[in-house]
Amino acid sequence: MTIFDRLNGLADPTRSRLLLLLERRELAVSELCAVLQLPQSTVSRHLKLLADDGWVEARSEGTTRQYAMAASLGGAAQKLWQTVRDEVAETGAARHDAERLRGVLAARRQTSQAFFRGAAAQWDGLRAELFGRRAELAALPALLDERWTVGDLGCGTGQLALTLAPFVRRVIAVDGSKAMLAAARRRLKDAGNVELRHGELEALPVERRALDAAVLFLVLHYVAEPAAVIAEAARVLRPGGRLLVVDMAPHERTEYRQQLGHLWQGFGAEQLGSWIESAGLTAFRYLQLGADPEARGPLLFAATARRN
């Protein structure tokens, strides 16, 4: 489209006012009518001409058409628009448009607020139906620092490493079981930034201060000496690095010793806190996690601490 094709689009004060509005935000025809105080037939006619000349683009949302200034105008058209805009923006009509636009946008907010007032009771169900029950859990690792190297200590089949990998620079996943590591390797075959290492948690195959964060997820109840494992995790954390321990809160399921090989029936804050302190870690926090209605096992806790 040449610049001559586009000239006609701007050669009208109403169309220039329309463009001024659509430059900043997407608006529906009815909203543009309210702002310009013109009938729909007039606004639609101008919009069609602007669209034909490549100045605006439209998309459908539900039953309405939303208009906005075209994303890529090209250099010459951009310059032409800037000249016209400087003129139009100074007019009283444009200032009134801006004022009325504020009212139109406030009405939009009221519409969405009315929706949420009506839908508050159903929102949880709708959210789960549209996005799943734990959408926030999939998104929250995005809060991690993308420069971090994280240790998944006792990685098992690699579920945690797979969750973390997209959000951090590198995951070093360590486990003492070759069978578990083989399953993890299959699961993580496409994750280029996960390094699987065979080794013991009591003598980690990880250099001193190599990790920004370390996670012991459902591991501690399997080790004979949790204090030694926590001290070893502290060794591989850099100063300021963080440890996360997720495990079972104290429970009565003695059968897990036989059935699942557990050595410990959960951990309380006091016991874990004393091991954390002995390892020289600080800022200890112990948080009981809410029950998942679909889970049959004991309640979990998440405990965090920092290396100074």
Site membership for ligand SAM, residue 217 (CB under 6 A): yes
Stretch near ligand SAM under the rule CB under 6 A, chosen from 16-24, 36-44, 89-97, 198-206: 198-206
Stretch near ligand SAM under the rule CB under 6 A, chosen from 106-114, 164-172, 212-220, 284-292: 212-220
Question: Interaction with ligand SAM in 162-191: which residues (CB under 6 A)?
Answer: 175-177, 180
Residue 194 Cβ vs ligand SAM, minimum distance, rounded to whole Å: 13
Q: What is the Cα–Cα distance from 244 to 231, expressed in whole angstroms?
A: 13
Q: Which of 9, 151, 154, 241 binds ligand SAM (CB under 6 A)?
A: 154
Site membership for ligand SAM, residue 201 (CB under 6 A): yes
Based on CB atoms, which residue is closest to ligand SAM, 97 or 175? 175
Residue 181 Cβ vs ligand SAM, minimum distance, rounded to whole Å: 8
Site membership for ligand SAM, residue 248 (CB under 6 A): no
Based on CB atoms, which residue is closest to ligand SAM, 43 or 219? 219
In SS3 terms, the chain reads as CCHHHHHHHHCCHHHHHHHHHHHHCCEEHHHHHHHHCCCHHHHHHHHHHHHHCCCEEEEEECCEEEEEECCCCCHHHHHHHHHHHHHHHCCHHHHHHHHHHHHHHHHHHHHHHHHHHHHHHHHHHHHHHHHCCCHHHHHHHHHCCCCCEEEEECCCCCHHHHHHHHHCCEEEEEECCHHHHHHHHHHCCCCCCEEEEECECCECCCCCCCEEEEEEECCHHHCCCHHHHHHHHHHHEEEEEEEEEEEECCCCCCHHHHHHCCCCCCCCHHHHHHHHHHCCEEEEEEEECCCCCCCCCCCEEEEEEEEC
Residue nearest to ligand SAM (CB): 156
| Chain Cα centroid distance, residue 204 | 32
Based on CB atoms, which residue is closest to ligand SAM, 136 or 225? 225
Question: Interaction with ligand SAM in 223-242: which residues (CB under 6 A)?
Answer: 223
Site membership for ligand SAM, residue 218 (CB under 6 A): yes
Residue 182 Cβ vs ligand SAM, minimum distance, rounded to whole Å: 11
Site membership for ligand SAM, residue 247 (CB under 6 A): no
Site membership for ligand SAM, residue 200 (CB under 6 A): yes
Stretch near ligand SAM under the rule CB under 6 A, chosen from 28-36, 200-208, 290-298, 300-308: 200-208
The site for ligand SAM (CB under 6 A) is made up of 154-156, 159-160, 175-177, 180, 200-202, 217-219, 222-223
